[in-house]
């Protein structure tokens, strides 16, 4: 049996949509995954079993203005923390 956390997809979409507005000094895969992980750790997961239910869960979060605002707020919060404390090699050794 396989389950999917739909919040991972929803948050990933939000992160891609607002990446430029987050003003992060680094948007490498490692930094973006850190933002994604921190955000997901601070949101309630929404699991589905059937892939056909994914559209319903996505629509539910896009239609819910408070829910969408909460997700964007958490993404911005995580992006700020990652920007201030990058763990990727590019930011640890910027001269390379």
Domain ranges for the chain: 4-86
DSSP 21: G
C-beta of residue 71 within 8 angstroms of C-beta of residue 43 = yes
C-beta of residue 81 within 8 angstroms of C-beta of residue 49 = no
Q: How far is CA 16 from the centre of its chain?
A: 8
C-beta of residue 72 within 8 angstroms of C-beta of residue 11 = no
Q: Comparing 1 with 86, which gets the higher pLDDT? A: 86
Section 42-50 average pLDDT: 91
pTM metric for this prediction: 0.84
C-beta of residue 43 within 8 angstroms of C-beta of residue 53 = no
pLDDT tens profile 49-88: 887 777 777 777 777 788 889 999 999 999 999 999 888 8
Considering only CA atoms, which of 30, 40, 35, 7 is closest in space to residue 19? 35
């Amino acid at each position: 049996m396989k389950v999917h956390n739909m919040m991972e997809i929803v948050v990933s979409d939000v992160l891609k949509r607002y990446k430029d507005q987050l003003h992060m000094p680094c948007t490498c895969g490692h930094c973006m995954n850190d933002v994604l992980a921190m955000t997901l750790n601070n949101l309630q997961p929404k699991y589905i079993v059937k892939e056909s239910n994914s559209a319903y869960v996505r629509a539910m979060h896009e239609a819910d203005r408070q829910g969408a605002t909460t997700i964007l707020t958490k993404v911005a919060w995580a992006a700020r923390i990652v920007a201030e404390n990058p763990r990727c090699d590019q930011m640890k050794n910027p001269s390379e």
